[in-house]
Every structure is written in structure tokens, then in C-alpha cells.
Amino acid sequence: MLILEGSMGHESCSSMPLMIRHVLLALALTLALAACGGASDFDHPADRPHQANANVDWRDQVIYQIMIDRFSNGDPNNDINVAPSVPGRYHGGDWQGVIDRLDYLETLGVTALWISPVVKNTEEDAGFASYHGYWTQDFLRPNAHFGDLTKLRELVDRAHEKGMLVILDVVTNHMGQLFYYDINGNGQPDDTISGGGFSHTCLQICRDTPSKCSADEVTFCANGKGYLERIIEWDPDYDPRGVQGWTSLGFSGAADVRFTDWPETNRTAPPRPPEWFGWPDDKAWFDDPNWYNRRGRVYVWWHENDYTKEFIRTQETTGDFPGGLKDLDTDNADVKEALIQVFEYWIEVADFDGFRIDTVKHIDRPEIARNIRGFWGEFTDRMRKKAQDLGKQNFFIFGEGFDGNDDLIGSYTWGGTDSAGTFGRFDSMFNFPQKYRGIDPVFAQDQPTKNLECLFNSRIGRNGTDAWCAAQGYSVGPTYQSTPHATPAAGGIGLAPAQVQVNFLDNHDLPRFLFEKSDPSILRSALGYLFTWDGIPCVYYGTEQLFDGGVDPKNREDMFLGNPERGIAPFATDHETFQFVKGLIQMRKDNAALRRGTVSPVWSTTVAGARRDAGIFAFERIATGSDAQTALVVLNTSNQASESCAPVADGGGCVRTTLPAGATLTDVMPGGNNATFTVRADGTIAVTVPARSGRVLVRK
């Protein structure tokens, strides 16, 4: 039963017959969820100017990722259908809660807030709630759980007053589970379709007439019984022909698509846009089945080695996202235009400073066709143009590609040229390749630090001259574009994608960094890298409070409950880890080289295990111009005290720096106690670094 706080007293509720209680509560929930759909909610907040951001440099920023529902409950009046003790349900966080905690974020020192999606979602699916915001039901209405448009704009304005930028999380690849494929034609969403682990396509087509199926399909069918995938009409397996209607009598063509009409859980066809939006009456909308690819869900994941790359990528770009999230046909001109206009609206109404865009690799194929504009080439340039029209500069667009393939992820940062002229794509990508091939192996698994250098080599295109990196399978590169997509005056950021990778240790889709490594010193070691390496550091909320949850939804803890297992109160600022993160952010702000300096690795290890330089990774950051400064960063990822010099058997040489002989360098790392080191006459420097720590050496 759904209990709505304040909807009725416990006594009056308990005295009602059970059926009546269910009806009234369902009605109350429906009205509450629909409340944001009235015409008054489409009125823009007060006509306020848009923040220009003319002097913003995104290399200076520290992004803090917030899952709104889990951060802070500032307004109990919007606590609709909450169940705080259940990880997969709404817990009550809202935009007012973030407003209430801006002082905390200011104390920490973060400069940009990445907030979870704001649009109206389907309320729940398979017992899980849409607290995360990724199950869109209506692109133009706000999520009533979090507040209204006025409150959202207040959050952005108040953040701006604190000197913080605000990034909106955006989903364009798919909608929530709003329809099912009526495979057997009985007009209801059946949970199972008969078959012993094989899809009906395998049984009826690929087995009987293999020539009608590709080699990849035949492989899938041969392995299907072992996969034991259950086929349901909400989420059937991918079929390149489109999901097919079928009964025991055979096939009947494309399965009918049926939108549900369950308003009590927001499981209805997306409503037509209001008049003010200006969408032509004779054009379809998101309630049209033809706006979706309708091929069923991607099934190749976890079995990638069984299939060709082409088959995998075709599924990823045209298949439904697992869980029944329906894939939009972004090649459809009307779909493309609708999505563009929708998110132009959100920039205008809420004055966002950038977008983080979800599931980027599920749209377009720039890795094979860089000069085909596609959806992203149009969408990103139009967002920049909208920002320009509003007087905003430096509108930052970065994407999420959940993949460790650096060539694939980097391909989304390359612009192109077609018959209409040049176009851009993403300013940056969320750096999953670094997470999978650098941070986890090096900091959590004690693998050679050369992996970090190899990723850098791939980015700038110099792995062709590095035999070790080539032997480990790193791309020659360059994997990221080295020129900006647009100037700030044109709504761009004026920086090349290769300069502004968004780096992270964990996020809402991965276990917390501390989940498998409970030693906070390992976290601090990785944080030292995050805040000194080039690019933009991104901190997942709660990292500074030592959150250590496992996979989704356990990695989406309630910030407002604190960390009782470690004895940390909610939003505590007086413990070691918070102070360390705060110190790293301040160190970065105080030293231009750590924000804007070019990077040059000067020492890394190619073997693991105990030795004089175990776990050492050293690099210089050099800023020029009015911010001229050189910083030498020496990190130790191992569990022993190490030195930035080779073992005697390997020649015993030490790190060589570009700083002048005799220069005295001071360690400005939090906890470094301002230790000093001197550059030798030959330009080398020996730096001893305690286990799981680092030194940042600058010339005072």
C-alpha cells in the first residue's frame, strides 16, 4: 500500500475497508504525480537573465555529481510514494534539499554541480521506482518528486550566487517502459513467452532456415539455451527484423506496440506538447510507435566475444536498453528535432551551464563514419547555438559512454564535415577507459603505473613509438580531438576535447571505489591522481564521506543519513577524508599548473612488485602566460614507501625535471608538511613518497 504523508490521519485510514483505502491512496498518488502537468506549471519562472559565463574555463572546475533523491530532503510536501528503507524506491531528496546544502558544497570547494535528470518519469517498473530519473515519460514536465520549475530555477540561481555552475543530466537515447510488444496478440503484457531459453526467432527461422539469419544470429541461437534468457513482452530479445508477432501457429509480421494506460504509475503514452511549445499539430510525437526502433533489447553484453563488432554496435545503437527502456529512432528527422527543441527549452527555462548526456554510444557510429553528422552532430551544435542566443558562453557538453574502448569513446569527441559544412560533437566524454584501464588496475590492483602513461599516449597519438603500450593493446591514437568545437562566443568552451576529459573514480552506475578496497588510504591515493592529472575531476557525492556501497542501487546511499558504519554524521566536515578532499580542491585552485598546465609523464613503472620505484608515477604540469608555473607531481600507488629513482640494477637514474638546477621545490599536497626537495645539477631529483600517497612539488 502506498502511504502519502499528510494525505490522511492514521486513525481514519485504518478504519476504512482495505479496498477503499487502496482506491483513495492510488487516486491521491495519481493526482500528486499529475500535479506538475497543469498549464500553470509550463509558465517559465520569472523572466530572469541568463548567466553569461564569459570568464569560465572548464579546466578550473571541480564537478560534484548529485543524485537528487539521495542527497537531502528539503521539502517533505513532495514526499510522494517514498520508502526510505528500500534501496530501489524514492527516499525523498529534492531540489530544495540541494539548496539547503549549498553551504556544505561551498565549504568542500566544488565549483560545478551535476544533477540527475529533472523530467517526469514513469513512477515504477518491476517493483523499482524511478528515483534516479532515467525513465522519461514526459520530456516537458518536471519530476514532481523533486519540486516545480520555479524551485529548479531557484536551485540554479542560488548555485550561481555561490559561484557554482550547474550541469543537467540528459537522456535522449530512450524512454521509460511505456509500451510492450504484443507478440502473441492478446492485448496484454505477458510476462513470459513459451520457449526453453530460445527466442521464437531462433526456433522458427534460424534453426529451420539458417541462410535467412546472419552468422551472429546463428551463434546466438546456438548458445541461447546456455544463456537462459527469459523472453517477456516488455523486454524481448533483439531481432534485426524488428520484434516479431508470433504464436504456436507461426509468425504474423511486426508485433503490435501497445502503450499502457496506467496513470497511477505514470505509465501512459507521452502527452502531446502544450501549445506554447509550438510543435506542429500535424506532426507525430513520442506517443507514435514509429518514433522507436522496436527491435527489442540488446543481448550481446557479457557475451561480446561470441559476436562480430558490427553486430554488437548495431544492437547497441538500435536496440532497447535492457529493462524495457524503449530505444528512440534518432535518425527520424522529427524525433531529432523534437529532442533538440526539448533540451533547448531546458537550457532556457533553468539556465543550465552544461549537459552530461547519458548512453551516448547508443546513438550514431562516429567510430566508422566521422563525417556523417547524425544525431549528435546536429544536437550538440544546436545546444551551443541555443546557449549563444541566450547570451551564454562556455556551454559544456560531455557524454557517458559506458565502455573501456578508448577509440570508441574518443570517437564521439571528433567533429566532421558534410555537404552542409563542418559540425562538432562532444566537448568531452566521461572517462570510462581511464577508469577501467588506469585507475582500477593501478590504484586498486597494484598494476604497473605505465598504464596511466599509455592512456595519455593514446589520447595524443604517440603510442606508435612506445613498444610497451603497443604490446598491451593500447591504441596508437590520437583518440580525442585536439581542436575546440566552438569558441565561447559561439556557445562553445573554446577548449579541445583532449584537454577536458572528465575523470572519476566511481559513479552511480559502478560500485563505490571503496566497495572492494576498504582501506581509505587507497582512496586517498587515487584522489591525489584525480585532482592533479589533467582534465576535469568529478567527485560522486558521498566519496568525501567514505561511502562504500556495492552495485546499483547500493551505491546510491542517502547522504542525509551520513555514514553510521564509520561513525560519520550527515554532512560532516570535521573528519580526515572530508578535509583531505577539501585540501586537494584548494590545492588545485591555488596552483594554475594543476588546472591549466600541459601534462608530461616523466616516470612510470612497467613491472609490479616491491622495488625502489614501486608504484611511482610522476609527471610535470606546465602552465604558461600570466599563470606560468611548473608543478612536479610524484604519486606512489604501492603499499611501500618508494622513491622516484630506478633500482641500481636498472641504472639507478632518478626523475628528470625541466626546473632549473638548484631550484628548491615545496610539497603543497595536503599532509605534505611543506617538505622541500632540491633539483640536482644534472636536472634530476630524488623524491621519497610514503605508501599510498603523493607529493606535489612547486617552486615557491
Confidence of residue 39 (pLDDT cuts 50, 70, 90): very low
Domain count, the chain: 2
Q: Which domain holds residue 694?
A: 592-699
pTM for the model: 0.90
Per-residue pLDDT at 243:
95
Does 36 map to a domain?
no
Beta strands in 342-382 (DSSP E): 354-357
Confidence of residue 44 (pLDDT cuts 50, 70, 90): low
Higher pLDDT, 522 or 672: 522
Predicted confidence (pLDDT) at residue 1 exceeds the cutoff of 70: no
**Which residues does 268 contact at the CB level (< 8 Å), separation at least 6?**
137, 178, 259, 260, 261, 262
Confidence of residue 203 (pLDDT cuts 50, 70, 90): low
User: Average pLDDT, stretch 159-171?
Assistant: 98
Per-residue pLDDT at 6:
31
User: Average pLDDT, stretch 605-615?
Assistant: 94
Dist. CA 76–CA 4, nearest whole Å: 11
Confidence of residue 152 (pLDDT cuts 50, 70, 90): very high
Percent of the chain having pLDDT more than 70?
Answer: 91
**Mind giving me the DSSP string for 616-653?**
EEEEEEEE-GGG-EEEEEEEE-SSS-EESB--GGGT--
Per-residue pLDDT at 247:
81
Q: Which of 9-18, 104-113, 241-250 has the lowest mean pLDDT?
A: 9-18
Dist. CA 608–CA 447, nearest whole Å: 6
Q: How many residues does the chain have?
A: 700
Could you identify the residue written with the cell 533483439? Answer: 238
**Phi and psi dihedrals of 428, rounded to 5?**
-165, 170
> Grid coordinates standing for 394?
562556455
Instruction: State the number of CA atoms in the 13 A half-sphere of 691 facing the CB.
Output: 10
Confidence of residue 217 (pLDDT cuts 50, 70, 90): confident
Does 665 map to a domain?
yes
> Grid coordinates standing for 16?
476504512
Instruction: State the number of CA atoms in the 13 A half-sphere of 13 facing the CB.
Output: 16
Q: Which of 1-5, 126-130, 223-227, 262-266 has the lowest mean pLDDT?
A: 1-5
Confidence of residue 17 (pLDDT cuts 50, 70, 90): very low
Confidence of residue 161 (pLDDT cuts 50, 70, 90): very high
Predicted confidence (pLDDT) at residue 68 exceeds the cutoff of 70: yes
**Mind giving me the DSSP string for 525-549?**
HHHHHHTTSSSEEEEETTGGGT---
Does 396 map to a domain?
no
Predicted confidence (pLDDT) at residue 382 exceeds the cutoff of 80: yes
Q: What share of the chain is helix, strand, coil (3-state, %, to 5)?
A: 35, 20, 45
Q: Which of 232-241, 484-493, 506-515 has the lowest mean pLDDT?
A: 232-241
Predicted confidence (pLDDT) at residue 278 exceeds the cutoff of 60: yes
Confidence of residue 155 (pLDDT cuts 50, 70, 90): very high
Predicted confidence (pLDDT) at residue 560 exceeds the cutoff of 60: yes
197 SS3 class:
coil
> Grid coordinates standing for 380?
550538440
Higher pLDDT, 9 or 344: 344
**Which residues does 33 contact at the CB level (< 8 Å), separation at least 6?**
80, 123, 144, 263, 264, 266
Q: Which of 15-19, 301-305, 511-515 has the lowest mean pLDDT?
A: 15-19
Does 225 map to a domain?
yes
Dist. CA 667–CA 591, nearest whole Å: 12
Burial class, 654, CB count within 10 angstroms (exposed 0-12 / middle 13-18 / buried 19+): buried
- The distance between the two most distant Cα atoms of the chain, rounded to a whole number of Å, is 89
When the pLDDT of each residue in the chain is averaged and rounded to a whole number, the result is 91
CATH number assigned to the domain comprising residue 605: 2.60.40.1180
Predicted confidence (pLDDT) at residue 3 exceeds the cutoff of 60: no
Q: Which of 357-371, 410-424, 568-582, 648-662 has the lowest mean pLDDT?
A: 648-662
Angle at 34 between CA 32 and CA 36, to 5 degrees: 95
Q: Which of 237-241, 490-494, 684-688 has the lowest mean pLDDT?
A: 237-241
Could you identify the residue written with the cell 519540486? Answer: 147
Q: How confident is the model over 222-273, as pLDDT tens digits?
A: 776 555 445 689 999 899 999 999 887 888 999 999 999 999 999 999 999 9
Per-residue pLDDT at 8:
29
Beta strands in 116-174 (DSSP E): 119-121, 124-125, 128-129, 136-142, 165-170
Does 233 map to a domain?
yes
Does 405 map to a domain?
no
Predicted confidence (pLDDT) at residue 197 exceeds the cutoff of 60: no
Per-residue pLDDT at 92:
98
Does 626 map to a domain?
yes
β partners of residue 514 = none
Does 207 map to a domain?
yes
Q: Residue 247: name the closest of 317, 166, 193 by CA.
A: 193
| CA 195 to mean position of chain CA atoms | 37
Per-residue pLDDT at 86:
97
Confidence of residue 209 (pLDDT cuts 50, 70, 90): confident
Per-residue pLDDT at 22:
39
Confidence of residue 460 (pLDDT cuts 50, 70, 90): very high
Q: Residue 563: name the closest of 543, 578, 546, 587 by CA.
A: 546
Higher pLDDT, 203 or 582: 582
Dist. CA 149–CA 35, nearest whole Å: 12
> Grid coordinates standing for 451?
598504464
Dist. CA 376–CA 362, nearest whole Å: 11
User: Average pLDDT, stretch 584-590?
Assistant: 98
C-alpha to C-alpha distances, 206 to 17, 220, 252, 314, 592, nearest whole angstrom: 55, 10, 17, 19, 61
Q: Residue 560: name the closest of 232, 98, 244 by CA.
A: 98
Specify the amino acid at residue 234: W
User: Average pLDDT, stretch 116-138?
Assistant: 96
Q: How confident is the model over 386-415, as pLDDT tens digits?
A: 999 999 999 999 999 999 999 999 999 999
Q: Which of 171-175, 193-197, 242-246, 390-394 has the lowest mean pLDDT?
A: 193-197
User: Average pLDDT, stretch 12-16?
Assistant: 37
Per-residue pLDDT at 32:
54
Q: Residue 286: name the closest of 137, 180, 144, 182 by CA.
A: 137
**Mind giving me the DSSP string for 486-508?**
S-GGGTS-SS-GGG--EEES--T
Q: Residue 677: name the closest of 699, 692, 693 by CA.
A: 699
Dist. CA 217–CA 210, nearest whole Å: 9
Per-residue pLDDT at 651:
86
Instruction: State the number of CA atoms in the 13 A half-sphere of 218 facing the CB.
Output: 9
Q: How confident is the model over 331-370, as pLDDT tens digits?
A: 999 999 999 999 999 999 999 999 999 999 999 999 999 9
